[in-house]
Chain A
């Protein structure tokens, strides 16, 4: 019994040290894991005396739950574009004072004033990319230029689809010649039927597992985000990435400040720091996603510009669409239809 209470006391004493108290200037950032070169925090501290506390989330949905229920916990958050729109609509975001973010001028103009935040009042792009097909050139010897290849019976049981409603419905809508943001239930129904028809050919619906499996040669074709494609192609030279001609989705992970942020000015300083060309370059070279920062791209030179997966031509970009946030009642339709796809026999 004595031993037990000793252990208890010890553990209690230890757990008291979990939260070190400090009166320092801080900025609490809430980001995807491994989505930033964290050595920049040190430089930021040296320059401004502000300490960066980093927290991580796994999906946009989880992140939004946390932002809603923990007011004041986060100063800088990194949502994807459709979530920016939803968060604006829910009043979760603070307007960024652009006077404190002079480096925002480095962002490529075509990424500014997007549909999801028309005047960039609330958000600044941090990274961007496309959705496309990652394919194994040892198994696919025809050109991959249409989403239609995903319905080709030659590749039965050799296809990975994204387990993500908007992306998968979106590419099917594109294949059928509609907009990814359509609100016509008949078009949605058509896309659903198309996906149900495809289901016997699909090996798996997954998200994060796809990249390692493609490296391992588990399937011929996989729908992926460009970031994952770059990761996989780096590890397996037989892989290639293509954005089909019907067009696809351009996604953006943006930087925002929650309305409840406790350290808004520090947050703005940090965002400005992220937009600085040298810092943007370090981040981009660390995670190797497409950078929105024109000045940083200039610094990176050919390594970046010659890589078509990371730096698609304007022609490809023009065929792509942003995702718009979909109102609740249409989301109900989307979810019910997706349920049918996921559970079709």
Chain B
């Protein structure tokens, strides 16, 4: 953090990389496609190279260097052993960490596992709640579909911070829900300051991202297909299972992607609704960058998480090899 200046060669390497990438892209298009549709993606590609790849390289640079800019793998060791840097400092101060009762710190690994688990739960709940909603909205007899899509979006136009604070007003021990319960003669229940509340906040935030893509796909689906299946003797469930579900898979995959990825990096919600009792990986990264002021370790943590998410997305694509399922019938 204290060296915001990356050495002068850094920018040249990046520029060179950019040039190579563009040249490759041009060669690729020239040889394989001419002026066909793939060229439509080139403005986007260029944009992403400048505003995503290059910044990622900057993060990569930080992840593999120490505070003086020298190459090191220590930042990654810090992920595996959250006490690594501390123990090093303690030894330098003339203490023996083992005598003090410090061994390997599992905080970072635990936090990552917890975050993945929470994101997984959030995705599953969003899918269970969202799929039927999307299915109903896309029903031919249900005329309000487009209106409902907008109704799903509007809450997200209210500020995220204010919405989360409103949830706090609801869930607190003296909050509205508990006041209601008390008035009805049930006792108070602690709804906040636990993982359940965090999960609720996450589902609340990400549910629309599951509903939209599924609704889109179902809405566009040829309803004659399911009618044909019915005519051929399938019952309702079988039709759904054999026809509708496979056809809607692309939407489901989109939805899972759009929910799972941001969910893993959720921050702020655990602090507000979970009472800061258990951190999620997003909080950890934020704290490492801002409070601990350690951009090198922070970058390493971010890199690890990105790799993990990309891997799990790769797995998702293995499960649905075509990535579309649209041609399954």
Contacts and interface: CB of A to CB of B under 8 A. Distances in A.
Is A in direct contact with B (CB under 8 Å) within the complex? yes
Nearest to A157: B190
Nearest to A345: B278
A209 B272 contact: yes
Given A185-B100, A205-B275, A336-B83, A165 B291 contact: yes
Contact of B172 (A189, A216, A339): A216
Contact of B95 (A165, A185, A209, A328): A185
B181 interface: no
Interface in B86-116: 86, 89-90, 92-93, 95, 100-102, 105, 107-108, 110-111
Nearest to A205: B276
B193 A343 contact: no
Interface in B1-39: 2, 4
A165 B294 CA distance: 15
B89 A329 contact: yes
A333 B89 CA distance: 7
A199 B93 CA distance: 29
Interface string A36-75: 0000000000000000000000010110010011000000
B42 interface: no
Contact of A343 (B190, B278, B294): B278
Interface in A276-334: 328-333
Interface residues of A, number: 37
Is chain B's binding surface mostly helix, strand, loop or mixed? Answer: loop
A206 B276 contact: yes
B174 A218 contact: yes
Contacts of A204: 193, 275-277
A335 B107 contact: no
A97 interface: no
A337 B86 contact: yes
Nearest to B275: A204
A209 B284 CA distance: 20
B293 interface: yes
Given A185-B90, A339-B82, A206 B275 contact: yes
A259 to B, nearest CB: 15
B235 interface: no
Given A216-B172, A216-B174, A218-B173, A340 B93 contact: no
B179 to A, nearest CB: 11
B243 interface: no
Nearest to A343: B107
Contacts of B291: 61, 165, 335
Nearest to A219: B173
A257 to B, nearest CB: 21
Interface residues of B, number: 41
What DSSP secondary structure best describes chain A's contact surface? helix
A217 interface: yes
Contact of B110 (A62, A68, A343): A343
Contacts of B105: 336, 339-340
B292 interface: yes
Nearest to A189: B100
Contacts of B242: none
B290 interface: yes
Nearest to B283: A342
A163 interface: yes
Given A206-B275, A343-B279, A69 B172 contact: no
Interface in B106-160: 107-108, 110-111
Contacts of A339: 82, 105, 107-108, 284
A218 B92 CA distance: 45
Interface in A194-217: 199, 202-206, 209, 213, 216-217
Q: Which of A65, A90, A332 has the most CB of B within 10 A?
A: A332
B227 interface: no
Contact of B293 (A61, A329, A333, A340): A61
A336 B82 contact: yes
B298 to A, nearest CB: 11
B253 interface: no
A304 B2 CA distance: 42
B290 A65 contact: yes
A332 B86 contact: yes
B85 interface: yes
6 contacts: A59-B290, A157-B190, A186-B100, A189-B100, A204-B276, A340-B107
Interface of A: 59, 61-62, 65, 68-69, 90, 157, 163, 165, 185-186, 189, 199, 202-206, 209, 213, 216-218, 328-333, 335-337, 339-340, 342-343
10 tightest Cβ-Cβ pairs between the two chains A and B: A204-B275, A336-B86, A205-B276, A335-B292, A329-B89, A61-B290, A339-B107, A343-B107, A332-B85, A333-B86
